[in-house]
Amino acid sequence: MIIVICGPTGVGKTKISIELAKKYKAIIINADAMQVYKGLDIGTAKIKESEKENIPHYLFDICDVYKNYTIYDYQNDVRNIIKENKDKNIILVGGSGLYIKSALFDYQFAEENKNTIDYSKYSNEELYNLALKKDKNMDIHINNRKRLIRFLTKKELPKNGNKLLYDNVHFIGLTTDREKLYDIINNRVDKLIDEGLVDEVKYFYDNKIFTKALNTGIGYKELYKYFDGKITLDEAIELIKKNTRHFAKRQYTFFNNQLPIQWFSVDYNNLNNTVDKIIDYIKKNKS
């Protein structure tokens, strides 16, 4: 069985995944694009060793921050872990929806277009016949030379993620009302600052590490602007909060449109209530 625990940032995915892993004797696979990187601990709210409760965790801290870990890398790594642990229950936990989709569905990557043919030397008839060879249903007129060349040189993008590749998969989404979520996000950012986020980011800045993860990761890119002298620290903190809230909205949009999610409201007064509801749902829908 595979259980996916997803939802917006800060909603409580880590704690609930641990409780479910104990219940199902499952391993946990990271599904957060930033938590694969070594050293990005505070800003990503990465699970601490003391919180893992001896549950095997995969794809955390596997890549140096000066390298670029891609969705393609993630897809291969997750599928290998699933294959190697096919006799175990598996929990994917994180908020990176496209990573989850690429791992569990028939998600394909467009190959780089290496076509270097100079079509300017071809006649209209030759272009037309080549276009028909590429797609017999092509309906571009033989005299529309520009469209024919454009058709022959464009990349063919695959149709992505329509077929689930594994059986007995449960997509669990954790949610709460918007006002509560925004309060959680704002308070979490303040907590990350108190825990030393500024020092964590300054280490990378001082070592002149300007990789994609640091240039695009929320909590890192804003503090880089502060270290550049473009904004104040207070402005950077407010920007982190704002960008995190906007990110949460985008996460909801992706999950609702791209994954077959069953949503559960988190009971923050008693997380076990939420865990019990999820377990009951899985029991009733187990294939």
pLDDT tens track for 3-53: 999 999 999 999 999 999 999 999 999 999 999 999 999 999 999 999 999
In a domain, 218, yes or no: yes
Taking Cα atoms as reference points, which of 27, 29, 43 lies closest to residue 197?
43
Report the percentage of the chain scoring pLDDT > 70.
Answer: 95
**Consecutive H or E run containing 28:** strand 27-30
In this prediction, residue 110 carries a pLDDT of: 67
CA dihedral 113, 115, 119, 120 (to 10 degrees): 80
Q: Are residues 14 and 102 in the same domain?
A: yes
Contacts 24+ apart (CB under 8 A), 275-284: 275/16, 275/19, 275/20, 275/23, 278/16, 278/20, 278/172, 279/20, 279/23, 281/170, 281/172, 282/1, 282/3, 282/170
205 within domain boundaries: yes
Per-residue model confidence as pLDDT tens digits over 85-124: 999 999 999 999 999 999 999 988 765 445 568 888 889 9
* Per-residue pLDDT tens digits for 145-191: 988 888 888 765 566 778 999 999 999 999 999 999 999 999 999 99
pTM: 0.82
Instruction: Note the pLDDT of residue 133.
Output: 85
Q: Which residues pair with 2 in a beta bridge?
A: 90, 169
Residues 47 and 83 in one domain: yes
φ, ψ of residue 223 in degrees (nearest 5): -75, -25
Same domain, 76 and 7: yes
Angle separating helix axes 145-153 and 124-134, nearest 10 degrees = 40
Total domains in the chain come to 2
**Residue located via tokens 């938590």:** 35
Please indicate, yes or no, if residue 189 is contained in any of the structural domains: yes
CA 148 to chain centre: 37
Same domain for 87 and 177: yes
Residue 185, domain CATH: 3.40.50.300
User: Does the residue 236 lie in any domain?
Assistant: yes
Clarify whether residues 90 and 178 are in a common domain. Answer: yes
- Structural domain containing residue 81: 2-108+160-285
Residue 148 lies in a domain: yes
Q: Which two tokens stand for residue 22?
A: 């104990």
Q: 255 by DSSP, 3-state: which?
A: helix
- Does an H or E element contain 6, and which? strand 2-6
Q: What is the mean pLDDT of residues 235-262?
A: 96
Q: Which residues pair with 171 in a beta bridge?
A: 4
- Tell me the backbone φ, ψ of residue 93, rounded to 5 degrees: -130, 130
180 in the same domain as 141: no
The answer to whether residues 97 and 166 belong to one domain is yes
How confident is the prediction for the chain on average, in pLDDT? 92
Identify the pLDDT of residue 151.
Answer: 83
Residues 240 and 218 sit within 8 Å (Cβ to Cβ):
yes
**Domain identity same for 26 and 84:** yes
Note whether 233 and 226 are within 8 A (CB). yes
Q: Are strands 27-30 and 57-58 parallel, antiparallel or unpaired?
A: parallel
First-last CA distance in the chain: 9
Q: Which residues pair with 5 in a beta bridge?
A: 93, 172
Residue 244 belongs to some domain of the structure: yes
